[in-house]
Chains A and B, each alone.
Chain A
Amino acid sequence: MSMIDIKVAAVEQVTPLVKHFTFVKQDGSPFPAFSGGSHVVVSMNVAGRVHRNPYSLMGSPVDTGSYHISVRKQEQSRGGSVFMHESVEVGTSLQITYPVNLFSLAKKAHKHILIAGGIGITPFMSQLVDLNRLNSSFELHYAFRSPEHGAFATQLKTICNDKLHCYADSKGERLDLTALLSKQPLGTHVYVCGPNPMVVAVIETARNLGWPENHIHSEQFLSPGIGEPFKIQLAKSNIEVHVPAEMSMLEAIEAAGVEADYLCRGGVCGRCEVNVLESDGALLHHDHFLTDAEKASGKKIMPCVSRARCDRLVLDL
C-alpha cells in the first residue's frame, strides 16, 4: 500500500483525554484532497513493533496543506493511542496511508442526520464541511460526558449554527432517538459514530421505525490486517519462515527471498493461491476468493491476506 511520509506540525490538548495533531508532508508538497468521513492509518513504531491505527481526518477536505486527526487516550490501549499521547510531539516523523473512506455521505440523500458520541465526532468534522459546501440539509446531534469533554463544541457552533444539538450527560441531557428518528422526511439518511452501545441503539431504533437498511450508516474501521506471529515451512524451498504480527504471509515469504506469484494483494484475484500440505491448527482465511468449501477443506490458502494459528504449517512453495 502506498504510504505518505509526514511530520507533526502541531499538537494541542483539546480535552483531558483528547489530543489534536496537525500533519504536514515531509517534502512540503500538498496532500491529496479527500471526501468527508475519510480516515488514514497511522504507522507507529512502538518499541520495535509496528502499530497501525486508523484515525478520522477532521480538517476541511479541500485544505490540502495539512491533515488533522484527534486521538483519544484509550484506557485499554494496545499501545497506539498512548504512544500518540506520550511520544509524539512537534517534529515527529510518521507514515500514514492515503485517505480511505468507509463512512461516506450518501450523495443522493435529501437530508442527513449525524449522531456523534464523544470522540466519535471526528469523522463528522470533515463531513460537515462537505455538507455546507454542497448546501445539503442536515442536523448534528452530539452527545458527551460533560462540557469539558465536549471537544470542538465551540468550533462546531460556528460551522453548524442552529443545526447543532449538544447533549451533556453530566447535566442530565439526553438524546431521544425515537423522537428524533420518527419525524424525519423520506430520503433522510442517519449516520452514527461513537461508543458501541450508542451505535447499536441508533441502528436498532431506526430499524424498528422502518428505516431502510441502506439509509443507516455507522463507522466501521478496517481490521488492521495484522495478527499473531506464526511460522511456516516452505516445502519446495526447504526453509522455515517467521511471519511477524505486522507482516502478511506473502510479505514474509518475499522477505525470505522466495518468489511467490501475486497480483492484487487484496484477497480477490486468486493468483497467490497456494496449496497447504500440512497443518496442525486453524487457518484464518480473510480472502474473498476461496469458496466456503475450499476454506473448510484446509487445503488452500491465500497468503496475501490470510494467516494461521498453529505450530506447523507446510506450504507447497
Chain B
Amino acid sequence: MALAFKQETFRNDYQYSNSPNAIKRFPFPFAEDQYMYSVNIEPHIKGKQGTVCEFPFDVDEHYVGECLDKQITLDLDRGRYKTLPHMMDAQWDFVELTMEALSNDYPEHFSLIKDGLNWTWENKPLNIKQSFVFGDASTMPMDPFEFMSRQVQGDFVLLDQRDETLYADGGFVTSQADWSLAFDVGMSWREWHAPVPRATELGVMDRALKYLLNLQLGSPVRRLNWTMTVNPRLDTSPENYPLWGTDRNTVNPENVADKVHLRVELQSLFRLPRSNAIVFSIRCYLMSLKELSSYPRWAKRLHRVQKTMHPDLIEYKGMTKFHPMMVEWLSKFDDGAAMDLGTHPE
C-alpha cells in the first residue's frame, strides 16, 4: 500500500498534524501509572502490520516533511553532521542497512539494484536516483552516511566499540531532544550519559552498556524514550535554544492541549557488519495532547504519569514551566478508577 506523504513544516507556522491512523499507531510509552528509568530494551523484531515496529526503519506520512526539515537544519548548521575518519566502514555499513531495509519494506517508494559493487539507489518520494560503487566514497555526492541519513526519518549516531565501551564517533543529528552532537562527538558512553539524573545511581547505564557491548549482528534491539515538547518542533537542539526555549512561556490553559506535544523516541540499535560498530537510530514521533486525548485511556494514563513525576525529571525534561497546566488539562480524563497495565489506546 502506497503511503500518502503530507506537506508539513516543523518550524515557524508549524503545519503539522497526525491523521487518525497516525494517532492510532503512535508508540505510546506508558504501560504503568508511574514512570522511572529502566533498561527497557527489547529485541527489535518485526511487529504487527501497521505498527511503527513492523519494519526496522518506519516510514510514515511525515516522511517527506521530516526529510525536508533535516535539510533545512543541516543547511543552517553543518555541525549537525560529523564523523571521525576511522568510521568510514561504518558509513558504508549504514548505507547497506538502510538501502536494503527501505527497498525491501517499501518497494513502491524505494529501489536498490545491485550488480556486484555497482549499486543504483532510487528514492521516489524525494526524487533521488544515484548510481555508485559500494565502498568507493568518491562515487557519492557526499559522505555515504550523510547521503542516507538525509533520506531516513530520525537521527543516527555511529558508535565505535573499543576499550570495553562505546564512543559516539559519528552522527547526523537534527531532531534531538536538547542534546548536542558537536558537544558529544568522540565521547564515551559514561561521558555522554553523565547529565541524566537518577539513572546512574540506579545502575541503569552500566547495565545497558554491558548489554550493548554484546549486541549481535542480525539481532537489533529497541527501546522507547520520551519527553514533552512545546510546538511540533523536531530541532529542539541546544544550539538553537534561543529559537525554541522561550516557547515554553507561550503555553496557557487555553492553548496547552494544542501546544504541548508528547515526544516519543523509538530508539533502535543495530550491530554493523564490516566495522563492528553500532548504529543508534533515534526516531521522533510527535503528538499533541489534543490528538492524544482522542484515546481517553492514553490521556488518563498520561495524567497519572505526569502527576507522580519525580521533580528532578520534570526539570531535566524541561517541563517545569508548563507542567501544572498540563496536569490540570489531563485531569479531566481521569475518573480515578484503576487501570490495567499496557500501552494500548482503548
A interface residue numbers (CB < 8 A to B): 1-2, 32-35, 38, 61-62, 97-101, 104, 106-108, 214, 263-266, 268-270, 288-289
Within 8 A of A (CB), among B259-280: 273-276
Do A98 and B42 have beta carbons less than 8 Å apart?
Answer: no
Instruction: Show 30 residue pairs from A and B whose CB-CB distance is below 8 angstroms, ordered by the A residue.
Output: A1-B216, A1-B219, A2-B216, A2-B219, A32-B273, A34-B217, A35-B89, A35-B273, A35-B275, A38-B276, A98-B216, A98-B217, A98-B219, A100-B216, A100-B217, A104-B162, A107-B87, A107-B275, A214-B163, A263-B40, A263-B41, A263-B42, A264-B43, A264-B211, A268-B39, A268-B210, A269-B38, A269-B39, A269-B40, A269-B41
Q: Which of B42, B161, B217, B276 contacts A264 (CB 8 A)?
A: B42
- The verdict on A104 contacting B276 (CB below 8 Å), with A32-B218, A270-B39 known, is yes
Assess the A104–B161 pair: CB atoms within 8 A. yes
Give complex CA distance A289, B202 in Å. Answer: 11
> B274, A62: Cβ atoms under 8 Å?
yes
Check B276 against A101 for contact (C-beta < 8 Å).
yes
Q: Which residue of B lies closest to A262 (CB)?
A: B42
Pairs of residues from A and B, 6 with the lowest C-beta to C-beta distance, nearest first: A107-B86, A35-B276, A98-B218, A268-B211, A98-B217, A33-B273
* Smallest CB separation, B217 vs chain A (Å): 4
Whether the pair A99, B86 counts as a contact (CB closer than 8 A) is no
Q: A99-B217, A108-B86, A269-B38 are in contact. List 15 more A-B contacts (CB 8 A).
A: A2-B218, A32-B218, A32-B273, A33-B274, A34-B274, A35-B89, A35-B276, A62-B135, A98-B216, A100-B217, A107-B86, A107-B275, A214-B163, A263-B41, A270-B39
Closest to B274 in A: A33
Which residues in A have their C-beta under 8 angstroms from that of B339? none
Task: Give CA–CA (A205, B42) in the complex, Å.
Answer: 43
8 Å CB interface, B197-214 against A: 207-208, 210-211, 214
Provide the residues of chain B in CB contact with A265, threshold 8 Å.
43
Within 8 Å CB of A62, what residues of B? 135, 274
- Closest chain A CB from B169 CB (angstroms): 9
Chain B residues positioned under 8 Å from A264 (CB to CB)? 39, 41-43, 211, 221
| A34 vs B39: C-alpha distance when bound (angstroms) | 28
Q: How far is the CB of B321 from chain A (nearest CB, A)?
A: 34
Q: In whole Å, how far is A250's beta carbon from the nearest beta carbon of chain B?
A: 14
State the Cβ distance, A256 to closest chain B Cβ, in Å: 22
Chain B interface size range: 20 to 34
From residue B158, how far is it (CB to closest CB) to chain A in Å? 12
Please report the number of residue pairs spanning A and B whose Cβ atoms sit closer than 8 angstroms. Answer: 79
B39 proximity list for chain A (CB < 8 A): 264, 268-270
In the complex, how many angstroms separate the beta carbon of B145 from the nearest chain A beta carbon? 15
Q: With A99-B273, A214-B163 in contact, do A268 and B207 touch (Cβ < 8 Å)?
A: yes
- Interchain nearest-CB distance for B53 vs A (Å): 14
Q: Let me know if B211 and A269 touch, CB within 8 A.
A: yes
Q: How far is the CA of A63 from the CA of B291 in the complex (A)?
A: 50
A34 to B161, CA, bound (A): 15
B155 contacts chain A at the CB level, 8 A cutoff: no
Closest approach, in angstroms, between the C-beta of A41 and any C-beta of chain B?
Answer: 11
Interface residues of B in 15-39 (CB under 8 A from A): 38-39
Query: Which residue of A has the minimal Cβ distance to B39?
Result: A269
Nearest residue in A to B161 (C-beta to C-beta)? Answer: A104
Tell me, yes or no, whether B69 is within 8 Å of chain A by CB: no
Q: Report Cα–Cα, A99/B163, bound state, in Å.
A: 20
Q: Is B58 interfacial (CB 8 A cutoff)?
A: no
Q: Closest B-chain residue to A289, C-beta based? A: B207
Cβ of B66 under 8 Å from chain A? no
Cβ distance A286 to chain B, nearest Cβ, rounded Å: 12
Chain B stretch 152-168: residues in CB contact (< 8 A) with chain A: 160-163
Whether A288 contacts B218 by the Cβ 8 Å rule is: no
In the assembled complex, the Cα of A108 lies from the Cα of B86 at a distance in Å of 7
Q: From B86, B96, B274, give the contact of A35 (CB < 8 A).
A: B274
Once the chains bind, are A269 and B214 in contact (CB under 8 Å)? no
Least CB separation from B88: chain A residue = A134
Contact B207 A34 (CB under 8 A): no
Give the residue name and chain of the B residue nearest to A291 (CB).
Answer: B203
Among A35, A99, A101, A263, max chain B CB count under 10 A is at A35
Q: Are A266 and B273 in contact (CB under 8 A)?
A: no
Q: Nearest-CB distance from A23 to chain B (Å)?
A: 16
Contact A266 B274 (CB under 8 A): no
How far is A265 from B208 in the complex, measured between Cα atoms in Å? 13
What's the minimum C-beta distance from B277 to chain A, rounded to whole angstroms?
Answer: 9
| Residues in chain B near residue A288, CB distance under 8 A | 207, 210-211
Residues of A close to B218: CB separation below 8 A: 2, 32, 98
Residue from A35, A104, A107 with most neighbouring chain B CB atoms (10 Å): A107
B276 touches A269 (CB 8 A): no
Which residues of A sit under 8 angstroms from B207, Cβ to Cβ?
A: 268-270, 288-289
Closest residue of chain B to A38, judged by CB? B276
Residues of A within 8 A of B214 (CB): 266
- CB-CB < 8 A to A34: which residues of B? 217, 273-274
Contact of A266 among B87, B89, B162, B211 (CB under 8 A): B211
**Contact residues in B for A1 (Cβ distance below 8 Å):** 216, 219
A191, chain B: closest CB distance, angstroms: 13
Cα(A264)–Cα(B269), bound, Å: 13
Across-interface contacts of A35 in B (CB, < 8 A)? 89, 273-276
A99 to B217, CA, bound (A): 7
Chain B contacts for A268, CB-based, 8 A: 39, 41, 207-208, 210-211
Q: Mark each residue of chain B from 80 to 109: 1 if its CB lies under 8 Å from any CB of chain A, else 0.
A: 000000110100010010000000000000
CA distance A62 to B96 in the complex (A): 13
Q: In the bound complex, do residue B210 and residue A107 qualify as a contact, i.e. CB atoms below 8 Å apart?
A: no
B93: chain A residues at CB < 8 Å are 33
CB neighbours (8 Å) of B86 from chain A are 107-108
A305 to chain B, nearest CB (A): 11
